[in-house]
């Protein structure tokens, strides 16, 4: 049973165990915040397989298998790169799920096309990838917090749908 008063990372952890799912995480703009929240839960080693903080293009390529073509064509902050990060994490660590976050936390780094606060999340399983686009309006810390929370919410919705 899910307790609405529990932190989302506890609920997600319970769902991962119940559904016999494992998770590989690829973070960029959140710098490990999502992994920190998930691994604060006792017993999280049963479902968190690995986490990669891939800030630079080179790290996304080397650690997650994101192609240079994807990065050069779409940029690090894009649905395409988030998808490649999630798929890459899932494949590299043989997890059932790959979850990725890439974005611009701020305060600098934004452009008119890709403003500060723009974040893409991607969740990959064996069959599909779900991508979400968010545009936060907070400061750097708030943007990171909102991104990690949105990733947990995406994961929770996905796990609740799976039979």
Give pLDDT tens digits for 96-140. 999 999 999 999 999 999 999 999 999 999 999 999 999 999 999
- Rounded-to-integer distance, Cα 100 and Cα 77, Å: 11
The helix (run of H) or strand (run of E) holding residue 119 is strand 118-124
Neighbour count for residue 63 (Cβ, 10 Å)? 18
Do the bridges between strand 97-103 and strand 129-135 make them parallel or antiparallel, or are there none, so unpaired?
unpaired
Looking at residue 36, what is its pLDDT?
A: 98
In a domain, 7, yes or no: no
Q: How confident is the model at residue 163 (pLDDT cuts 50, 70, 90)?
A: low
* Omega prior to 107 cis, within 30 of 0: yes
Cβ pair 42, 10 in contact under 8 A: no
Number of separate domains in the chain: 1
- pTM beyond cutoff 0.85: yes
Looking at residue 1, what is its pLDDT?
A: 47
In a domain, 92, yes or no: yes
* CATH code: domain of residue 99: 3.90.950.20
In a domain, 31, yes or no: yes
The yes-or-no verdict on residue 52 having pLDDT over 70 is yes
In a domain, 14, yes or no: no
Which residues span the domain enclosing 131? 20-161
In a domain, 41, yes or no: yes
Looking at residue 162, what is its pLDDT?
A: 74
In a domain, 144, yes or no: yes
Mean pLDDT of the chain: 96
93-107 residue pLDDT tens: 999 999 999 999 999
């Amino acid at each position: 049973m899910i307790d609405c008063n529990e932190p989302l990372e506890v609920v997600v952890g319970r769902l991962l165990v119940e559904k016999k799912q494992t998770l590989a995480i690829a973070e960029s703009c959140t710098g490990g915040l999502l992994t920190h929240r998930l691994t604060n839960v006792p017993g999280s080693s049963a479902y968190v397989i690995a986490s990669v903080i891939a800030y630079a293009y080179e790290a996304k390529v080397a650690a997650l298998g994101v192609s240079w073509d994807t990065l050069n064509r779409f940029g690090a902050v894009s649905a395409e790169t988030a998808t490649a990060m999630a798929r890459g994490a899932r494949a590299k660590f043989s997890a059932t799920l790959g979850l990725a976050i890439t974005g611009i936390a701020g305060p600098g780094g934004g452009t008119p096309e890709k403003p500060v606060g723009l974040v893409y999340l991607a969740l990959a399983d064996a069959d599909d990838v779900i991508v979400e686009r968010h545009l936060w309006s907070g400061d750097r810390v708030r943007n990171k917090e909102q991104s990690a929370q949105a990733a947990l919410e995406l994961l929770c919705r996905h796990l609740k749908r799976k039979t």
